[in-house]
Structures are given as structure tokens and as C-alpha cells.
């Protein structure tokens, strides 16, 4: 009897200690600092069983594994020990200080959150090379290369930068995305659009490779000296063979994630030569043609004509100014309209730019248009060239003669009165139809009474809203069902977003089905079993085929996480879930 009493006492003490145990929910990371090409493990651990676990968004990371769930429940010396863990494997997609935000869990109706975890991501680190490891296979057969057309260009001379990814057997690239994109701070840059990445045959260091052109850019250096090109970094998912084989003897592939970097490159930009530089050189570098074009060379006074200064060719067309037009002071010149017709290809800018001047004549006479000079530097010939337009004359007739004209071709006459024959100011309205502004009295107006009654309506609406909130907060069962209904819709939305990620898709789909049962059949978490679900649905007069369809969907979600699934199969499962839920809603 004495031994029995002591045993019961110890069991009661253990039970009391268990009940008094404080609930904990914490996040643990495998390391606080890691390289851009390393992985991070994150564990979310709780000491009491919870429901509706919500992971953080993992901003700055990509999930490469998980969630994996493990449960430990044991009794040691009469003391219960429980632990439930959700594990994720992450790889960073950017450098710097990153934060893993809070995860949430519902334990006995209370919401618990983890503490945010601060992680530092550095440059990619060197990994020890093992000839038998997948890392060695990747390093030996995968290369991201920067190809530059000219390492020693002149200032404002076009250079081409192409980033190519070389890989060969036994590697296959199944997915890839940009981690770091070069910004080209000291260059004028233009990215050439690549509609679709294509795998082609190529040669790298004399050996045959598969090659993908990942990025193409045209650069015009804007500074002289040594300029740095930032590297391009890619995050790749690589399929490579393992030592296992399937039933038919084919080698089973395994996936590995890797971040590759093209490396930083330096461009030595040469200044344009000072020897032979023309005085009217405005920075044009390339091969160009130049002309000054008149739309008419004879017109009446008070009419207008246009002079177009146009440069065509290949070079830095968008990066220099055209020369200014010099005309007699008796002509009225408006600011030029600048127009560009330039296309940028892998060989650089080509097309035309122009300044279109509108000129109004007031006096008759013959006006000479002096030649306009345009200078440019040809980097291929390493020489300056100057182009000049031809001499042209504009004949203006039918108007007054300017007595103060400096043009020798205009005869000197006495001062004449300038009359307005073209109604130059006809756009000014001399007889406006103005109406007096009548001010509306505020007192005793509709707006006055509306503002007077508005606070009363707001007060009534506030009281009704408070009463509604009080009713909702007092209805615990209704709140739980509404929460479950919202979670069901939330997880259905998450499943639709993750149609490309099998693990996250089926995890969200399973949660949506369970929360739907909570909201529709008022089933508690502890009642979840396929037999009880079958019984509850049978009690609601559902057909046996509909019940089996629901149970089959639950089993399919459990199995599909660990078996191959195509995008079409995942879309089919998603559509089937919507159909089954819709049919059950109609019957209930």
C-alpha cells in the first residue's frame, strides 16, 4: 500500500508540473551568417500541440525544402515531454542584413508568435571540392561568363556586354532566376530584350557545351579611366544523376541549388584625343551624316518656313546636342522641336536625330542661310571629321522692307509704317461674355442643414456598430466557425498561388479541406480522422460517392507531397477540390 501511494503521488506531481508548464513557441536558425551560395535551416518549435501554423513570408530567401513536420511525445520518470517542429530549408537571394519575420500558431485558442531572426548574407563562399560530390560536378561543368566586345573603348564609344551560361552533361538546368542584376553606374546602358531563353550549342575553352544567352546590354562609358562592371548572379536549380536507379535501370536524378556569379570586370576607357579636336565638337562619337534642310526657299512676308538640322548614322545619337542655327536678326526664330528616331540593337544606336526650327519672316528680301558645321569623332579611324551644310537663300516678297537690316542684299529705304495685314492677334477675344459670380448663402442652405444633421447620423451608426461588435465577440462558437471559414478561403488562395510548388500547393490544399470541415460541420481539431469525417458526412445525408471523393482528395494530398506531380495534375486536383466543396455546399 505504501509503494502504491508513493507511485500515485509521483504521478500526480508530474501531472501538476505538466499543467503548470509554460507554453513556448520559438524559432531557431542553423547559422546567423552565411554566404550567398549556402543554405539555412530554420526550425519553429513548440512544446504544446497547436493548429493553423502560419510560416513567415521568408522575404529575401527562397524555400528549397520543407515544411517538414516532426513530433516528439515522451514520458520520463512520470514527466511528459512534448515537442512539435516545423522545419524549412532556405537559400538567400540577396546580400545584406535579412530578417525572418514572425511565425504564428494557434494553441488552445491563443495566438503565439516567434521572435524575428536577423540573418547576415555575405558574398558567395568557396566550398571544399570533393571529386565524388555533386558540388564538384557542378563546379566542373557549369560556368557563367561575361563577354565584352571591347575592353579599351573611347569615351562614348559603344561596347557590347553579353552574359552566357555554359553547362554540359551530366548537368541539366531545370530552373533559374536572377539574384543580382548589374546596374552599370558609370555607363549609359540599354538592355536588349530576350523574348525567350534558348539552349544552343557553343564552345567554352575549346570544349563543347550547352549555352544560354542570359543577358545582353549595350554600354556607352560616360567617364574615362578604369570603370568597374558589376557581376551578374543567378540562382539555379540543377538536376544531376545520383547513384540510385529506378525499376527500369534508369539513373535517378537529384536536385541541387546553386548560386553562380559572373565575376566583376574592369573596363579601361580612353579619353578622346585633344589633337585635332574641332572647336564645335559636342561629343558625337560614331559614323554620321549631317544636313540642313529647308521646306521652302520662297515665301510671302509674315509666312513661316522650317529649317531641319538632321544627323543620321550609327553612334551615341542620344548623348550629344546638335549645333545651333545662326540666322539674320530680322528673322523671328522659335525654339527648335527635337525629334529622335533611334533604335538600339546589339551593335549600338542607329537612326537619326533632328532639330526642327520654325522661322517667321516680317520683311521682304533675300536672306542667306549660313552653312552649319557638325563635328564627330570616328573611333574606328581614330580621327575627327567636320561636315558642313550648303549655302542656301530664302526669298521673301510682298512685305515691308527693314530699314535697319544688316543684310547687304536688302536695299536701303526710308522708314515705313509696318501695317498688320495678317490679323496676327486674332486669337485674342475682344468681346468676352462675362457673367457675375453669385455667392450662395451658407446659412439656411442645404449644405448647412446637411452638416447639422450629419453628426447625429454618425453617432447612431457608431452605436449600432458597437452593438454588432459586442454580439460578435460574445458568440465564441460563431467566431470559431468564421475563423475556420476564412482560413479555408485563405489556404485555397495559397494553393492557387503555389501551383508551381508541389509541396506548398498540397500542404495548403489539405489545410483548406480540413478548415472547410471545421466551418461547415462544426468539427473540432481532435475529431479529425477519416472514419469520423465519413460518419459526419453520412449523417448529413450526403451520397456515398461524394463522401469517397472528399476522403480521396485528403489521401491524395498526403501522398502527392512525396510523389512526382505535373502542373496539369496539380491544376486537376485544385479544380476537383472546388467541385467537391461546391457539391457538398449544395447538399447541405
Per-residue confidence (pLDDT) for residue 588, from 0 to 100: 65
Task: Report d(CA 228, CA 185) in Å as an integer.
Answer: 9
pLDDT at 222 over 80: yes
Could you read off the pLDDT of 419-469 as tens digits, one per residue? 444 454 455 566 667 777 666 667 777 888 888 889 988 999 999 998 887
pLDDT computed for residue 480 by the predictor: 54
Q: Determine contact, residues 229/267, Cβ cutoff 8 Å.
A: yes
pLDDT at residue 38 above 70? yes
pLDDT of residue 6: 58
**Taking residues 18-44, what's their average pLDDT?**
80
The dihedral over CA atoms of 256, 259, 262, 264, expressed in degrees to the nearest 10, equals -150
For 61, other C-beta atoms within 10 Å of its C-beta total 22
SS3 427: coil
412: confidence class by pLDDT, cuts 50, 70, 90: very low
- In the predicted structure, residue 475 carries a pLDDT above the cut 50: yes
Give yes or no for a contact between 391 and 371, defined as CB atoms under 8 angstroms apart: yes
Q: What is the pLDDT of residues 483-542, one digit of tens each?
A: 556 656 666 777 677 777 777 777 777 777 777 777 666 666 555 677 777 777 777 777
Which pLDDT score is estimated for 387?
Answer: 93
For residue 318, with 0-12 CB atoms within 10 Å meaning exposed, 13-18 middle and 19 or more buried, which class applies? middle
**Contacts of 386-391 spanning 24+ positions with Cβ under 8 A:** 386/278, 386/280, 387/288, 387/289, 387/290, 389/290, 389/291, 389/292, 390/292
The two beta strands, 172-180 and 117-122, are unpaired
pLDDT confidence of residue 549: 78
The pLDDT-based confidence of 19 (bands split at 50, 70, 90) is very low
Assign domain 476-587 one CATH number from 1.20.120, 1.20.1260, 1.10.760, 3.30.420.
Answer: 1.20.120
Examine domains 21-122 and 288-397 and report if their fold is the same.
Answer: yes
User: What proportion of the chain, given as a percentage, has pLDDT over 70?
Assistant: 79
Residue 1 has a pLDDT of: 56
Listed by start position, the domains of the chain span 21-122, 134-269, 288-397, 476-587
Considering only residues 586 and 146, tell me which one the structure prediction assigns the higher pLDDT.
Answer: 146
Burial of 222 (0-12, 13-18, 19+ CB in 10 A): middle
Q: Residue 233: which of 185, 195, 190, 181 has the closest Cα?
A: 181
Distance CA 74, CA 84 (A): 12
Cell of 228: 568597374
Q: Are 162 and 213 in contact (CB under 8 A)?
A: yes
**288-397 carries CATH number 2.60.40.740:** yes
- 215 or 538: whose pLDDT is higher? 215
Cell (9 digits) for 131: 571529386
List CB contacts of 143: < 8 A, sequence separation 6 or more: 165, 166, 167, 204, 209, 260
Query: Is residue 471 pLDDT above 80, yes or no?
Result: no
Among 264-273, 308-317, 325-334, where is mean pLDDT lowest?
Answer: 325-334
- State CA 136 to chain mean position distance: 33
Under DSSP, the state recorded for 526 is: G
Q: What percent of the chain has pLDDT over 90?
A: 26
Select the more confidently predicted residue: 298 or 472.
Answer: 298
pLDDT band (50, 70, 90) for residue 340: very high
pLDDT of residue 575: 79
Q: What is the mean pLDDT of residues 286-312?
A: 92
**Rg of the Cα trace of the chain?**
39
User: Is the pLDDT confidence value at 285 over 90?
Assistant: yes
d(CA 208, CA 542) in angstroms, rounded, equals 63
Q: Count other C-beta atoms under 10 Å from residue 376's C-beta.
A: 24
pLDDT at 24 over 90: no
d(CA 264, CA 230) in angstroms, rounded, equals: 5
Please tell me the CATH code under which domain 21-122 is placed: 2.60.40.740
Sheet with 51-54: strands ordered across: 51-54, 104-107, 110-113
Amino acid at each position: 500500500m505504501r509503494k502504491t501511494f508513493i507511485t500515485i503521488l509521483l504521478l500526480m506531481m508530474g501531472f501538476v508540473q505538466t499543467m503548470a508548464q509554460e507554453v513556448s513557441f520559438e524559432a531557431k536558425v542553423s547559422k546567423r551568417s552565411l554566404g550567398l551560395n549556402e543554405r539555412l535551416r530554420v526550425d519553429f518549435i513548440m512544446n504544446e500541440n497547436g493548429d493553423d501554423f502560419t510560416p513567415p513570408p521568408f522575404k529575401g530567401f527562397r524555400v528549397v525544402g520543407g515544411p517538414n513536420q516532426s513530433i516528439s511525445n515522451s514520458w520520463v520518470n512520470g514527466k511528459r515531454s512534448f515537442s512539435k517542429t516545423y522545419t524549412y530549408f532556405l537559400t538567400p537571394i540577396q546580400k545584406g542584413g535579412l530578417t525572418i519575420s514572425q511565425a504564428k500558431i494557434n494553441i488552445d485558442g491563443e495566438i503565439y508568435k516567434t521572435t524575428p531572426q536577423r540573418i547576415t548574407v555575405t558574398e558567395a563562399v568557396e566550398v571544399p571540392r570533393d571529386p565524388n560530390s555533386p558540388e564538384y560536378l557542378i563546379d566542373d561543368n557549369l560556368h557563367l561568363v561575361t563577354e565584352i566586345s571591347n575592353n579599351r573603348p573611347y569615351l562614348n564609344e559603344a561596347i557590347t556586354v553579353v552574359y552566357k551560361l555554359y553547362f554540359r552533361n551530366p548537368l541539366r538546368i531545370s530552373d533559374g532566376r536572377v539574384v543580382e542584376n548589374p546596374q552599370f553606374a558609370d555607363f549609359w546602358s540599354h538592355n536588349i530584350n530576350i523574348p525567350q531563353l534558348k539552349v544552343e550549342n557553343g564552345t567554352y575553352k575549346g570544349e563543347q557545351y550547352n549555352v544560354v544567352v542570359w543577358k545582353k546590354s549595350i554600354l556607352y562609358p560616360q567617364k574615362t579611366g578604369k570603370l568597374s562592371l558589376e557581376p551578374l548572379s543567378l540562382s539555379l536549380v540543377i538536376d544531376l544523376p545520383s547513384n540510385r536507379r529506378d525499376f527500369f535501370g534508369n539513373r535517378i536524378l537529384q536536385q541541387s541549388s546553386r548560386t553562380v556569379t559572373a565575376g566583376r570586370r574592369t573596363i579601361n576607357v580612353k579619353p578622346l584625343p585633344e589633337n585635332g579636336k574641332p572647336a564645335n565638337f559636342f561629343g558625337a562619337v560614331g559614323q554620321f551624316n549631317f544636313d540642313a534642310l529647308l521646306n521652302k526657299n520662297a515665301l510671302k512676308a509674315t509666312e513661316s518656313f522650317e529649317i531641319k538640322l538632321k544627323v543620321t548614322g550609327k553612334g551615341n545619337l542620344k548623348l550629344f546636342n546638335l549645333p545651333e542655327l545662326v540666322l539674320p536678326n530680322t528673322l523671328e526664330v522659335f525654339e527648335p522641336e527635337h525629334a529622335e528616331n533611334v533604335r538600339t540593337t546589339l551593335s549600338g544606336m542607329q537612326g537619326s536625330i533632328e532639330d526642327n526650327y520654325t522661322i517667321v519672316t516680317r520683311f521682304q528680301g533675300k536672306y542667306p542661310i549660313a552653312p552649319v558645321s557638325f563635328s564627330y569623332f570616328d573611333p574606328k579611324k581614330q580621327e575627327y571629321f567636320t561636315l558642313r551644310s550648303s549655302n542656301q537663300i530664302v526669298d521673301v516678297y510682298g512685305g515691308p522692307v527693314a530699314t535697319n537690316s544688316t543684310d547687304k542684299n536688302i536695299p536701303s529705304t526710308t522708314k515705313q509704317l509696318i501695317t498688320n495685314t495678317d490679323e496676327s492677334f486674332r486669337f485674342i477675344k475682344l468681346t468676352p461674355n462675362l457673367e457675375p459670380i453669385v455667392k450662395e448663402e451658407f446659412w439656411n442652405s442645404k449644405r448647412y442643414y446637411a452638416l447639422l444633421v450629419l453628426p447625429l447620423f454618425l453617432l447612431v451608426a457608431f452605436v449600432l456598430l458597437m452593438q454588432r461588435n459586442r454580439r460578435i465577440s460574445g458568440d465564441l462558437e460563431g467566431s470559431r466557425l468564421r475563423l475556420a471559414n476564412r482560413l479555408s478561403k485563405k489556404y485555397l488562395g495559397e494553393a492557387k498561388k503555389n501551383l508551381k510548388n508541389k509541396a506548398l500547393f498540397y500542404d495548403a490544399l489539405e489545410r483548406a479541406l480540413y478548415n472547410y470541415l471545421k466551418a461547415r460541420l462544426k468539427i473540432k481539431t481532435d475529431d479529425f480522422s477519416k472514419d469520423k469525417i465519413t460518419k459526419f458526412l453520412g449523417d448529413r445525408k450526403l451520397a456515398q460517392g461524394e463522401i469517397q471523393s472528399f476522403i480521396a482528395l485528403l489521401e491524395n494530398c498526403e501522398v502527392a507531397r512525396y510523389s512526382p506531380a505535373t502542373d496539369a495534375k496539380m491544376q486537376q486536383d485544385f479544380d476537383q477540390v472546388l467541385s467537391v466543396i461546391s457539391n457538398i455546399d449544395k447538399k447541405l
